[in-house]
Amino acid sequence: MASRGRSRTTPGRAQAADGETERGKGPGQTRAPQPYAPQPRATMRADKWLWHARFFKTRGLASQLIASGHLRVNGDKIAKPARGIGPGDVLTFPQARRIRVVRLLALSTRRGPATEAQTLYEDLSPAPAAPANNPGFDGKGRPGGKDRRKRREFERSQLE
């Protein structure tokens, strides 16, 4: 069928500049401006941020921790390393023998030096407790076999 130069829109609808039609708009009328739409929140992959902030030596280690379900973002467990996190989020995760709680302050573009990495977060973790003194050794030289056995037994009881 040949077109005679007419628009293919239905009567009573004007075509907007972006190609969409509007109901009830006559020729020459434009669409009302949209109210202020908030910008999407800047986010970054959780594994990448943990690596950039130098909590883990490799990004793969960070991914393993997240995939095993040991990372909480604002109290919710996540299991996908690609989960987006951004400034203001609170992360809780185990590191070595302590639980780390950090609040994100900023995202990074690279894995920089430790001083730069420390500006990315605020540490909310409680201060680590002072290690208990070795029960069988009072600083009287090199410990003997009996002292070492006592120490091993003491360390096992601390972990349980």
Q: Which CATH number fits the domain that encloses residue 78?
A: 3.10.290.10
Tokens 């090199």: give the residue: 142
Kindly state whether residue 84 falls inside one of the protein's structural domains.
Answer: yes
Kindly state whether residue 1 falls inside one of the protein's structural domains.
Answer: no
The residues near 46 (Cβ < 8 Å, ≥ 6 apart) are: 62, 66, 71, 73, 78, 81, 82, 83, 84, 85, 91
Kindly state whether residue 35 falls inside one of the protein's structural domains.
Answer: no
Kindly state whether residue 50 falls inside one of the protein's structural domains.
Answer: yes
Kindly state whether residue 69 falls inside one of the protein's structural domains.
Answer: yes
Distance CA 119, CA 87 (A): 12
* pLDDT tens by residue, 35-93: 777 888 899 999 999 999 999 999 999 999 999 999 999 999 999 999 999 999 999 99
Kindly state whether residue 132 falls inside one of the protein's structural domains.
Answer: no
- The highest-confidence range among 24-33, 36-45, 79-88, 149-158, by mean pLDDT, is 79-88
What is the structure's pLDDT at 65?
Answer: 96
Kindly state whether residue 156 falls inside one of the protein's structural domains.
Answer: no
Domain that holds residue 72: 44-123
**Domains of the chain: total:** 1
pTM: 0.61
Q: Reply yes or no on whether the pLDDT at 21 is more than 70.
A: no
State the pLDDT confidence band at 160, using cuts at 50, 70 and 90. Answer: low
